[in-house]
Amino acid sequence: LPYYSAEFLNIWMNEDNDGIIDEFFEDIKGTLGGNEYYYAFFHEIKERFPDTVFYGTDVGHQFDTTGARYIKYLEDRGLTASENYTLAKQCIDQGERFCAENSESGISTLRENYMVSNFTEAYERCGSEKIMGIYGGYHTDMSNPEVMGARLRERYGDAVSGVQVSSLAIEVRPYKLGVCVSGIVFLLMLFVPNILWAKRKPIGYNEAVGKENRLLGAFERAGEVAVTAALVIFKDFDPAVRVFPNGIYFNMRVFFWVIAFALMILYEFYWIRYFRRGRTMKDFYGSFAGFPVAGATLPVLAAIILGIYSKNMILLAAAAMLGVGHIGIHLAHRRDELSGAEE
């Protein structure tokens, strides 16, 4: 914000009405900041952090409205000789020079120069305390030597750090309850082929089932129940992607989600191969795309990766339990099938 906008906010912080902030938002109406969320943001600061002091370090946006009104506010109180008056006039002058450039994008070397000097002066005025600044992402790029962020890093070293605030909108809440669309899709990809398979079991399967290890069978059934429940009730298995007016944002962890569902797509192709072939025990317990006993390893790996993506230890534990039982049984059947073939 410009100097005078921040000063008006400081006055408003000590008043019991919204006259000042309502005038400020009338001035910025039609800009990206003129919205209900920004308005609520300031009210939350006033309510939760009443000791906050605002410092405006941008050039003089709205110099003919907010700026002119602040100058009149000072003049009416006989403060024309004050530092506030000098700084407000300086900020208005910066705004007029910046607007004369006709930089519709807001990207301007002149503006960056002013922002660096304004920030430095404000930082010194506040006693070089630990502070937080909120700026557009362009200005805080630490890798671009032409903009404010990198230039402040060069001046103050590691004391300056930044975070892209939009990334905070993608909050990791692994145990948030709710209907999980991704989990339901995952389960449909798992159950539908198995329902079709129930009427197309390989020859000799029923005999092989009677030889299964009971402990592995218990792990398998418990894992199936736990994985199914977890995928349905924990909402954060859905991809954390947010669409904002200025772009799409996502955490890089979303690639784990992509990998998990790529494995499930391979799982569907595994079943397509099974149904198109002779539906033998060899087909059922065979490898696919480099994955041994693919009918078991692909969904288990997908569930584990989905658990890593969401940081959900319940799903990870359930998937591990399912893996011990399901993969263990498949490996045992495959071993018996190979030994039978050798005989």
Structure tokens at 48: 């939760």
Instruction: Give the model confidence (pLDDT) of 159-187 as tens digits.
Output: 898 887 766 666 678 888 989 999 999 99
Task: Look up the pTM and report it.
Answer: 0.60
* HEC assignment per residue over 31-53: CCCCCHHHHHHHHHHHHHCCCCC
Instruction: Give the model confidence (pLDDT) of 72-120 as tens digits.
Output: 999 999 999 999 999 999 999 999 999 998 767 778 899 999 999 999 9
Q: How wide is the angle at C-alpha 228 spanned by C-alphas 289 and 337, nearest 5°?
A: 45
- Alpha-carbon distance 305 to 307, whole Å? 5
What pLDDT does residue 236 have? 85
Residues linked to residue 247 through DSSP beta bridges, in sequence order:
244
Q: Identity (one letter) of the amino acid at 173?
A: R
What pLDDT does residue 343 have? 46
- Alpha-carbon distance 155 to 111, whole Å? 18
What pLDDT does residue 250 have? 76
Instruction: Give the model confidence (pLDDT) of 312-321 as tens digits.
Output: 999 999 999 9
In order along the chain (343 residues), what is the average pLDDT of each group of 10 residues? 97 96 96 91 96 95 96 97 97 95 80 96 84 89 92 92 74 84 94 91 79 89 95 88 72 88 96 88 88 95 94 95 94 75 47
Dihedral of the CA atoms 186, 190, 195, 196 (nearest 10)?
110
Other residues' Cβ atoms within 10 Å of the Cβ of residue 250: 15
